Amino acid sequence: MRKDQNKNFFDELKKKMDDYVHFIFKISRKFPKEEIYITTNQLKRSSLSIILNFIEGFARQRKAVKKNFWETAYGSLKESKYLLHFSLKESFLNKEDYKNGIRMADEIGAMLWRAIKSLK
C-alpha cells in the first residue's frame, strides 16, 4: 500500500470509528434509566475504547506495541457488538438500530483486522 493510500485507509477507519461511537452514544440515550450504570455505561465505554486504543496505538513507533493497542481496540469492538446483541434481546434497542450498529461494527472490524494483519 502506498503512503497516500495508507493515510486514506486510516483516515477512513478513524471516521468510521468516530461515527460508530457517536451512534452508540445516541442510541444509548434511549435505554432505560435503571441501565445507566450497567449496560449503557459499559456500551459507551467499550465503543469509546475502540477509537481511543486505535489512536493511541497509531501514535506508537514499535509494531508490537501498536499491535497490542489495536488488538485491544478489536476486543472492545467485539465487546460492544455483544452489548448491542444483549440490548436487543432485553428490548433496550430496536431492530433497525441493532442492524445499523452491527453493520458499522462489521465494517470497522474488517478494516481494523486488516490493519492488525499489516503489522506482521
pTM: 0.93
Instruction: Kindly report, residue by residue over 44-58, the tens digit of the pLDDT.
Output: 999 999 999 999 999
64 neighbors 30 (Cβ within 8 angstroms): no
Which residues of the chain fall short of a pLDDT of 70? 1-3
Class (C level, CATH) for 3-24+36-117: mainly alpha
- How remote is the C-alpha of 111 from its chain's centroid? 11
| Phi, psi for residue 59 in degrees, rounded to 5 | -80, -10
Which sequence spans correspond to the domains of the chain?
Answer: 3-24+36-117
